[in-house]
Amino acid sequence: MISALMAAIYTRLSEDDAGPATNPLMTAVGSRLYALEAPASSSLPLVVYSIGTPDTERFFDGETRITASIEVSVFAKVEGGPKALADIEKLVDDQLDQKSVTVSGADRGYIRNVQRGVPVIEGEYMRSDSTFEIVSTTTS
């Protein structure tokens, strides 16, 4: 199920309702969207996302609900300033917060924001970490 959740997150971040060519997030980061870790030689800005261990709840009516936290980190050069980082972080939020997603093997899925990131300077780059929650349900 983790791979289905990760695929749903990637699809939601990388595509747009009008198609991938119109996605402002992918345009802003030059399609540098990575699961778990970016390659060491990656250019900035970029986005890295990961998922926590899912919690599974089974109900008497046969419904199963899976909930997991999503960590999304935005990295940008210090020279761009905190506004540039915040602008990309907002694009991430626009792509994920309060959005329905298709999760393979589930009837429905939904993502919501839990905590917006705050820019932090780390040497030559800045980082902003946001937390989201993904919920998928299946009825038997």
CB–CB of 126/85 below 8 Å? yes
Res 51: pLDDT: 95
CATH of the domain at 73: 3.30.2000.20
CA distance 114 to 133: 7
> How far are the Cα atoms of 9, 45, 119, 137 from residue 3, in angstroms, in the given order?
10, 25, 29, 15
Helix (H, G, I), strand (E, B) or coil at 24: helix
Provide the number of structural domains found in the chain: 1
pTM over 0.85: yes
Residue 114's domain comprises: 2-138
Q: What is the pLDDT of residue 23?
A: 87
- Please report, in tens digits, the pLDDT of each residue of the chain (140 residues total): 788 999 999 999 998 766 656 789 999 999 899 999 999 989 999 999 999 999 999 988 888 999 999 999 999 999 998 899 999 999 999 999 999 999 998 889 999 999 998 889 998 999 999 999 999 998 76
